[in-house]
Chain A
Amino acid sequence: MILNFIYENIEFIYLIFLMVIVGIELISHVPSVLHTPLMSGANAIHGVVLIGAILVLGKAHSDDYFSLVLGFIGVVLGTLNVVGGFVVTDRMLEMFKKKDKGGKA
């Protein structure tokens, strides 16, 4: 059963391993100054969960009020995560930009 599961989802499993390695490599050598913006940026990226909310709301029947209401809330929350996350990160990084002339990392 487990072998079968792995076989059926083999692409995903490869993809997951690859992304884990990429994620580790990306973060390992970052100056601590950038930890907060980086966390905030990663926070915005996982807002991609919004797509799931869009898809599930998009297949809800028009008389299924349970799904319509929850789906609507889901899309709003997901959008908050994405938009708020990116805007907050941009505001933080804006601070670095101005003063960055010739500064060290």
Chain B
Amino acid sequence: MKKLISLETIALVMLVGLGASYMMDPTPERGLPIQEFFYLLGSIGFVVGLKMMGKPDTARRGNMLAAIGMVFAVVAALVFGKDGQALHNVPLIIGAIALGTVVGTMMAKRVQMTAMPQMVSLFNGMGGACAALIGLMEFHEMSAAFAGIESEIGQAVVAAALALTGASSALQTQLGIIYAGLIIGTVSFAGSMIAFGKLEGKIKDFALPGQQYVNLALLGTVLGLAAGHTLGYLEGSLWFYLVLVVAALYGILFVLPIGGADMPVVISLLNSFTGVAAACGGFLYDNNVMLMGGVLVGSAGTILTVVMCNAMNRSLTNVLLGKVGGASAAASASNSAGGSIRELQATDVAIMMKYASKVVVVPGYGLAVAQAQHVCHELELLLESEGVEVKYAIHPVAGRMPGHMNVLLAESNVEYDKLVEMEDINPEFATTDVVLVVGANDVVNPAAKTDPSSPIYGMPILDVENAKQVVVMKRSMKAGYAGIDNDLFYNSKCGMLFGDAKDSLQKLVSEVKSL
């Protein structure tokens, strides 16, 4: 635990430094005492809530705690205003909050569990757009104030006066932060909308030749323009709006080429972007709770992104450059394994399973798309009543996000301890009679272990080929998200049951019943 100790030491040093800095400057800009106290409560709610969300049994209370923290923070802002001055337009603000609450609750309550990932992406985009709008309005106000001065005295005089008083550097800092919030918020918004569209299946993967260079150039343009404007090399508010447009374009082109299987990683990354954008707002308004919440999500989100990448054995760079899983993977699809497949009928599979002593179900995204989790549970209960032992093998990235499959199966009342994680189930396959692969593909592809040239080589997979029989339920022979062929289908132990996952499972249920 050496790492922990050193982190704690760093934290301690930081705390001492924070105390010292307060002593040096005992009157930093703050709100009313009661307001700062509320902000403090809010921040504590975020940190402790996020901590509790890391354990299954306290997770729900943790989420509740973070939400309560948020209520404290928002109420404090609404009631006490900023720097001791009350807010204007309070009815308008309350109206907006009410509208957002009603619509947000409805959207969140109505969404299907399978559509959860895109919902998270959508809400993330809303936050990004909010941050971008703040930047837009702050700039509008800033340039309006400038225009007022400029009309009275000459611009050169203003510049000279600003330089003398040192106000210029303060303004530059402010403009810089506004830019940071605007750019990050816009990229997050545009990217999240594309991610949403992709997960909904409305936007296809798309890559220009040499897109990486186009993206780099766009990013360079955005940063260059923003820096030039902030430091005073470029003048006029037109630049600001140009940056906005180019940042949005960058956000779109950044996500477009990334394959659907990598979307969770991208959403997690954009999530941490929005956190940083929120932190910029905190910096701009000297608001501690915004700063803390934003930075917390920024850092936690980044780590979460890395952890997700590790779970899929993908490097973040490859994900971001759209290698594998995206349009670029299509090329590798050609080196198909060949050989013949064995097609099965529902009756065959029903007989196989009914007289097995142990069946393992491997659920994948196909199950989620077909909304087949309830039928799947029905089949499980039916087999159990026949004395068959049934378990579920959950790959870390089954479904569209880590943990997504657990949520879906839990929704249809599958017992928590029937969901077995990959490391625990892999040794069990040797004693399994029938493995039923429902709409999963890449997570059972042996090429990940045997073929170093495969794009998914090295990804941990479920060793289903060790079982006595494997039945793969698929709609067609089409490749999975990684866009590669699967040798497993040509294995002599393996049979294919074609059709929609839900229909097939329903047929299985009635076949088992009638046997």
Chain A residues with a Cβ under 8 A of chain B: 1, 4-5, 9-12, 14-62, 66-68, 70-105
A57→B96 contact, CB < 8 A: yes
Measured CA separation A92–B289 after assembly (Å): 26
- Name which residue of chain B comes closest to A91, CB basis: B108
Q: Please name all residues of chain B whose beta carbon is closer than 8 Å to the beta carbon of A44 when the two chains form the complex.
A: 63, 66-67, 70, 123
B101 cross-chain contacts in A, Cβ below 8 A = 79, 83
On whether the beta carbons of A16 and B54 are closer than 8 Å, the reply is no
Closest 4 CB pairs of A and B: A79-B100, A58-B87, A23-B299, A52-B281
Q: Is the CB of A40 within 8 A of B120?
A: yes
Contacts of B114 in A (CB 8 A): none
Footprint of A on B, CB under 8 Å? 4, 7, 10-11, 14-15, 17-18, 21-22, 24-25, 28, 42, 46-47, 49-51, 53-57, 59-60, 62-64, 66-67, 70, 73-74, 77-78, 81-82, 87-90, 92-93, 95-97, 99-101, 103-105, 107-109, 111, 113, 116-117, 119-120, 122-124, 126-127, 129-131, 133-134, 136-138, 140-141, 169, 173, 185, 264, 267-268, 271-272, 274-275, 277-279, 281-285, 287-304, 307-308, 311, 394, 396, 401-404, 406-407, 410-411, 413-417, 421
Select B50's contact among A42, A53, A99, beta carbons within 8 Å: A42
Contact of A62 among B28, B89, B292 (CB under 8 A): B89
The answer to whether B403 touches A33, judged by C-beta atoms less than 8 angstroms apart, is yes
Q: Choose from A23, A37, A99 the contact partner of B416 (Cβ within 8 Å).
A: A99
Q: Cβ of A71 and Cβ of B120 under 8 Å apart? A: no
Provide the residues of chain A in CB contact with B301, threshold 8 Å.
Answer: 23, 39, 42
User: For B78, what are the chain A residues with a Cβ–Cβ distance below 8 Å?
Assistant: 54
B100 lies within 8 A of A42 (CB): no
Query: In the complex, which residues of chain A have a beta carbon less than 8 angstroms from the beta carbon of B100?
Result: 75-80, 82-83
For B136, give its contact among A29, A58, A70, A90 (CB under 8 Å): A70
Q: Tell me which residues across on chain B come within 8 A of A12, comparing CB atoms.
A: 283, 291
Partner of A91, one of B109, B173, B264, B401: B109
Tell me which residues across on chain A come within 8 A of B414, comparing CB atoms: 99
Question: In the assembled complex, how far is the CB of residue B438 from the closest CB belonging to chain A, in whole angstroms?
Answer: 19
Given contacts A53-B134, A91-B109, contact A15 B18 (CB under 8 A): yes
Instruction: Say yes or no: A58 contacts B50, CB within 8 Å.
Output: no
User: Do B295 and A32 touch across chains, with their CB atoms under 8 A apart?
Assistant: no
Chain A residues, CB < 8 A from B95: 72
Q: How far is the CA of A100 from the CA of B55 in the complex (A)?
A: 11
Q: How far is A2 from B100 in the complex, measured between Cα atoms in Å? A: 40
Is the Cβ of A32 less than 8 Å from the Cβ of B396? yes
Are A92 and B307 touching (Cβ within 8 A)?
no
Chain B's closest residue to A59 (CB) is B88
The CA-CA distance from A39 to B284 in the complex, in Å, is 26
Extra contacts besides A36-B402, A51-B74, A72-B92 (18): CB < 8 Å? A11-B21, A15-B288, A17-B10, A21-B14, A21-B299, A29-B54, A34-B53, A36-B117, A37-B53, A49-B185, A51-B285, A52-B282, A58-B88, A58-B93, A76-B100, A79-B97, A80-B123, A97-B60
Say yes or no: B73 contacts A39, CB within 8 Å: no
Task: List 5 A-B pairs, Cβ < 8 Å.
Answer: A46-B274, A55-B77, A70-B140, A91-B109, A95-B411
Q: Chain A residues near B403 (CB, 8 Å)?
A: 32-37
CB contacts (< 8 Å) of A105 on chain B: these are: 55-57
